[in-house]
């Protein structure tokens, strides 16, 4: 009998912001990277998003670009240590809805899998914290001395997430038509198309535009918005983008 799975993005879907930002701040604190990298290159994009004058995807992609350059030459063990500290200190900063859904799926005996654009080291720690069955994250390659090279195998885009989900389907013999996917950005779009029960969690405008223009997803999508201590469930029928 085929199994049912729940595929979770992490940044903005489980965790309330971007975990990679927390790692970046931590490696600055440990003086592994010059803090000017943050103030001159990342912080301006962050402030635009924080003031809602820029979009979330632009900020995160900028963060990734700077992160790649920042960790080049740093040992993998150092980033693994930082990732553990970040999840120890910040791992509970998650959406109530997402935390409860992870538990619900586990109670149902479903396979719970993280597919996230965050660095592999972070996704590993987060998936272990929430007792997930498997995970995929962005791989930052290292050399023979275990130092990061600057080469990346991404997991933040739709194509990569689709490939990862299909690999998990084969690995665990999953019935996708009865399975779930949770995401918040356009990178999660293909996961929504592949499963029978998709959930958009506090979705970006770009993702909502894709959803509303795709009848296949439009007919099955669940839209969740969590603000303060209230969770709202919406449908595209009662949704108006302003």
Q: What is the pLDDT of residues 198-238, one digit of tens each?
A: 999 999 888 999 998 898 998 899 999 999 889 999 888 77
Given a cut of 80, whether residue 192 has pLDDT beyond it is yes
Average pLDDT, the chain: 89
Residue 40 has pLDDT above 80, yes or no: no
pLDDT of residue 54: 66
DSSP 170-235: HHHTB-GGG-EEEE-SGGGHHHHHHSSEEEEES--HHHHHHHHT-HHHHTT-EEEEEETTEEEEE-
Q: What is the pLDDT of residue 18?
A: 78
* Residues 114 and 123 sit within 8 Å (Cβ to Cβ): yes
Q: Is the pLDDT of residue 53 over 70?
A: no
Instruction: Say whether pLDDT at 194 is over 70.
Output: yes
Whether the CB-CB separation of 11 and 17 falls below 8 Å is answered with yes
Instruction: Give the C-alpha separation, 84 to 95, whole Å.
Output: 20
pTM above 0.85, yes or no: yes
- Tell me which of 191 and 240 has the higher pLDDT: 191
What phi and psi values does residue 10 have, to the nearest 5 degrees? -110, -60
When the candidates are 3.30.499.10, 3.40.50.300, 3.30.750.24, 3.40.50.1000, the CATH number that belongs to 5-238 is 3.40.50.1000
Domain ranges of the chain: 5-238
Taking only the tens place, the pLDDT of each residue in 88-123 is 999 999 999 999 999 999 999 999 999 999 999 999
């Amino acid at each position: 009998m085929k199994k049912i799975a729940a595929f979770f993005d992490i940044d903005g879907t489980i965790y309330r912001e971007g975990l990679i930002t927390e790692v970046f701040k931590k490696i600055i604190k440990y003086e592994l990277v010059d803090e000017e990298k943050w103030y001159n290159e990342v912080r301006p994009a962050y402030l635009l998003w924080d003031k809602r004058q820029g979009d979330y995807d632009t900020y995160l992609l900028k963060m990734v670009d700077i992160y790649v350059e920042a960790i080049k030459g740093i040992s993998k063990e150092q980033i693994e240590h930082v990732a553990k500290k970040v999840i120890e200190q910040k791992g509970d900063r998650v959406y109530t809805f997402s935390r409860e859904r992870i538990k619900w799926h586990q109670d149902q005996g479903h396979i719970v899998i993280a597919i996230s654009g965050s660095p592999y080291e972070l996704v590993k720690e987060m998936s272990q914290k929430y007792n997930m069955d498997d995970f995929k994250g962005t791989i930052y390659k290292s050399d023979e001395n275990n130092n990061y090279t600057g080469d990346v195998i991404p997991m933040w885009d739709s194509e990569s997430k689709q490939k990862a989900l299909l690999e998990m389907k084969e690995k665990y013999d999953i019935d996708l038509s009865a399975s779930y996917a949770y995401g918040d950005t356009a990178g999660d779009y293909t996961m929504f198309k592949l499963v029978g029960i998709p959930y958009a969690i506090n979705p970006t405008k770009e993702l909502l535009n894709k959803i509303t223009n795709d009848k296949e997803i439009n007919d099955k999508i669940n839209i969740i918005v969590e603000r303060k201590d209230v969770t709202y469930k919406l449908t595209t029928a009662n949704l108006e983008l302003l």
